[in-house]
Structure 1
Amino acid sequence: MRPVLHAVAGIALLSVMDALIKGAVESLPVLQVALLRYLVGSAAILALAAWRRPGWPTREALLANGVRAILVVITATSFFYALGRLPLAETLILSFVSPAFTVLFAAILLGERVGPRILVSLVAGFAGVAVIVAGGLGGEGARETSLSGVAAVLVSAVGYSATNVLLRARAQRDPLLVIVAIQNLVPAAILAGPGWWVWRMPEGSGWLLLGAIGLLGVAGHLVLARAYAAAEAARLAALEYTALIWAVLFGFLAFGEVPGGFAWAGGALILGSAWIVARR
């Protein structure tokens, strides 16, 4: 159960980060928020690496994790864009198609066996998502859905699935600190130019908000990397649905989004799917 608990904890930390990002992109450009998220993350992981001394990465590790880092940039920027166009809970719900892609990629790239229990859990989780979408989360107060936001979420979901499968492949070979360091340093380098081009000076507590986003990103990915190093990607895929709990909570507390009965019914199915996949 330890990898399962690590995965749930990592998803919770990243869900808090998502809520903070949604607040940040309302006043700052998406590329700037993404750049600062990875700059702060790079500083934090380098400080941790200086303390733990994981050793220098091999050329193979640099290339493989570098490719994954490029996918991380695409995934993060498209998801941050969607957060600025859609309600928080709706964005998370649409992103829940990612476990299905994770299972598909894990079977194709890693040769993992997809057993009936995992398939049942994925069907139950996706049914929960369908119930929520059919019920119209947020009721009459919901914002009009942005087609560009929906497209961005779907791009992010595919990219997120691919990065998780690659994480599973590398987490069994490379130190976790090396993986997360490359995952922050390479995106920071890629986004340096675009982020500086659209730069807008944060006001007041904006710096604290951006710092918290970066630290939560590092913590969440370290915990997730530990989970994927110890368990199959397909087994952990349906646990992504637990992010719905945090989406509903933060959507209500921070943005006034009130889910109705359909959301609770779908949430029950999603939690059931997570329980099925967590059992040995």
Structure 2
Amino acid sequence: MDAVMKAVSIQIGAYNMLVWRLGLAVILTGLLYAFTRPRLPAASTMRVHFGRSILVAIMAIAFFWGIVRVPLAEAIALSFIAPLIALGLAALFLKEQIGARSVLGSVLGLAGVAVILSGQLGGTHTDDTMLGIIAVLVSAVFYACNLVVARHQAQLAKPLEIAFWQNLFVLGLLSLAAPFLLAVPAAQHWPGIAAAALLAIASLLLLSWAYARAEAQVLLTVEYTAFIWAALMGWWMFGEKLTVSTIAGTLLIIAGCLLALRRKPQATEPGLA
């Protein structure tokens, strides 16, 4: 989805791409949600939906604005500070026991990111690229908060309910800037917008389902595999070359994920928090 978003955002801008994608997503999830004959969520649940939507709105516009200016793999690598922040937040707010393997897996994954960035950030960057990097880092902070809220939200509502209300609220929040920024895309851009909407819906539904069934510390470490796909999509769609440091870092990331997911069948993983 990020690759499609970047491709179309380069043409029409991140704001317009995101708003029109959300518009299609609201229609599609709204139709599916209506078939379930839903009741209006409780006020407490609605507050969670709206609160997470604020985080998602800031996170999304910052990230997609950033990836227009930064190589896709580099942007994803920078975003990997989010799982590390979220691990601490999960322990603090969700009272999850953060196991030694999860911490070590995250550190190993972060080491992989450092190897990648050592090869990519050594080059010359324009001011625009540096602004993009800052935007991605800002997005990562909000993404970390979003991941922890997602775990709590998944205990309160079903995936389709989450998808509909989140898309609706985020669209409403971003629409506040519509009088100044919104433009109607040309016909050739709509297939990309539609594809991004479908991919975003599928991603949100699957993640909501996953967060209802697994601890955040395990799922957050698996987030590191996103770099593999970002590197491949960046190379295929935008000609962003893979380097030795990229491959080496990716191997470290995979090793970190495997370490965090490995569990002893009859032993409790030692806790660190």
Q: TM-score, normalised by structure 2?
A: 0.91
- Superposition CA RMSD, Å: 1.6
Residues 175-210 of structure 1 deviation map (CA, whole Å, 9 limit, x = unaligned) = 222212111000111112313422233223201111
Q: 1:210 corresponds to which residue?
A: 193
Q: 1:181 corresponds to which residue?
A: 164
Q: 1:8 corresponds to which residue?
A: none
Q: CA separation in 2, counterparts of 1:193 and 1:27?
A: 22
Match of 1:78, as an amino acid? Answer: A
Q: CA separation in 1, counterparts of 2:178 and 2:61?
A: 11
Structure 1 residue aligned with 2:183, among 184, 200, 214? 200
Whether the aligned pair in 1 keeps the contact of 2:103 and 2:260 (CA below 8 Å) is no
Counterpart secondary structure, 2:68: helix
1:30-69 equivalence runs, <5 A: 30-69=14-53
Q: 2:240 corresponds to which residue?
A: 257
1:233-272 equivalence runs, <5 A: 233-272=216-255
Structure 2 residue aligned with 1:71, among 29, 50, 55? 55
Q: TM-score, normalised by structure 1?
A: 0.89
1:81 has 2:81 as partner? no
Q: 1:105 corresponds to which residue?
A: 89
Taking only the aligned residue pairs, the percentage that are identical comes to 37
Q: CA separation in 1, counterparts of 2:187 and 2:27?
A: 22
Q: 2:145 corresponds to which residue?
A: 162
Q: What's the CA shift for 1:149?
A: 1.0
Deviates more, 1:53-62 or 1:256-265: 53-62
Q: CA separation in 2, counterparts of 1:115 and 1:24?
A: 41
Structure 2 residue aligned with 1:152, among 135, 159, 184? 135
Larger Rg belongs to? 2
Q: CA separation in 2, counterparts of 1:270 and 1:234?
A: 15
Match of 1:154, as an amino acid? Answer: L
Q: CA separation in 2, counterparts of 1:267 and 1:53?
A: 45
Higher relative contact order (CA 8 A, sep 6+): 1
Q: CA separation in 2, counterparts of 1:181 and 1:229?
A: 17
Unaligned ranges ≥5, structure 1: 1-16
Unaligned ranges ≥5, structure 2: 264-273
Q: 1:93 corresponds to which residue?
A: 77
1:224 has 2:214 as partner? no
- 1:163/1:112 Cα in 2 relative to 1: closer, same or farther (>3 Å)? same
| Number of aligned positions between the proteins | 262
Match of 1:132, as an amino acid? Answer: I
